[in-house]
Amino acid sequence: MSSTSIITVLDPGVLTTVQDEGRPGFAHLGVPRAGALDVPAAALANRIVGNGPSAAVLETVLGGLRLRSDTGVWIAVTGAPVPLSIDGRPRGVQVPEWVPAGAEVSLGTPDRGVRSYVAVAGGFAVPEVLGSRSTDTLSGVGPPPLVTGQELPVGASVGEIRAHDTPRGPAVGPLRLLPGPRRDWFADSALDVLCAGPYSVLAESNRVGLRLTGERLPRVRDGELASEGMVFGAIQVPPDGMPVVLLNDHPVTGGYPVIAVVEPGDLWQCAQLRPGEAVRFTHRR
């Protein structure tokens, strides 16, 4: 993908990374999947500016991101709703916005949610690593988090700008659970305890895992497992009895028992939960 523009990072905010659909299929090499945490939001941003689903976007945490392009470009901002301005003038989110050459794009702080996504027509054309442009914050594979002064190449625009592509998002609700492989390590009531909730999000949560606090999940077996493979969305339970939902940058193996696995279609909600917010689970009886 040849570069047609350069976007300069004026301020990366709290944390901004490049993400695409991730690099699944490399767990045997010890490489996590990475990729955008809020998949529907990233996909919408790409569609609005005419990109294919695999185009790389920017995932930014709690706003503060400032950018400047050397040429005119189309952008779209989705995910956590942030105040967006272009050269100091308020602009809209979930719609295409034209950025003139040399103009500054600024994202404020969202009043809800955590992660916003910035797509540019043509996609961010940073080098691929193992078939993906995604930043993996655990293993360091892919581009590192953005820093001030960094220059990001933009690929050639290939699709039509879609001014009205703002479909209703996926349903928000309790995270649906599938049975985990180590339910026998827990009391028969443990899954009901987990679903009775709610649990609260801890500040230590990140792209590796959503860490929760609430009622302790009772176990019937002591000790820990030998390390075994972990899947996206697995709910590990450390010795303190507090669940951890493994997200995109999770380690590919682990030694804590997995009581359940979150339905893949519900995991996007974990991207937008703030510390202190409530999380509920549900499972089929």
Query: What's the structural domain count of the chain?
Result: 2
Do residues 200 and 245 both lie within one domain? yes
Do residues 185 and 108 both lie within one domain? no
Do residues 10 and 47 both lie within one domain? yes
pLDDT tens string 224-254: 788 888 899 999 999 999 999 999 999 998 8
Does residue 47 lie in a domain region? Answer: yes
Does residue 163 lie in a domain region? Answer: no
pLDDT tens string 95-150: 999 999 999 999 999 999 999 999 999 999 999 999 999 999 998 999 999 999 99
Strands 258-262 and 234-236: antiparallel
- Give the pLDDT confidence score for residue 255 in this predicted structure: 87
Do residues 244 and 205 both lie within one domain? yes
Do residues 111 and 230 both lie within one domain? no
Give the mean pLDDT of the chain: 93
Residue 39 clears pLDDT 80, i.e. is over it: yes
Do residues 70 and 188 both lie within one domain? no
Do residues 129 and 23 both lie within one domain? yes
pTM here is 0.94
Do residues 141 and 26 both lie within one domain? yes
How much of the chain, in percent, has pLDDT values that exceed 70?
96
- Exposed/middle/buried for residue 240 (C-beta within 10 Å: 0-12, 13-18, 19+): exposed
Q: What is the 3-state secondary structure (H, E, C) of 124-179?
A: ECCCCECCECCCCCCCCCCCCCCCCCCEEEEECCCCCCCCCCCCCCCCCCCEEEEE
Does residue 99 lie in a domain region? Answer: yes
| CATH number assigned to the domain comprising residue 234 | 2.40.100.10
| Structural domain boundaries enclosing 225 | 175-283
Alpha helices in the chain (DSSP H): 39-48, 190-196
Does residue 162 lie in a domain region? Answer: no
Residue 38 clears pLDDT 90, i.e. is over it: yes
The first and second tokens of residue 233, run together, are: 């969305």
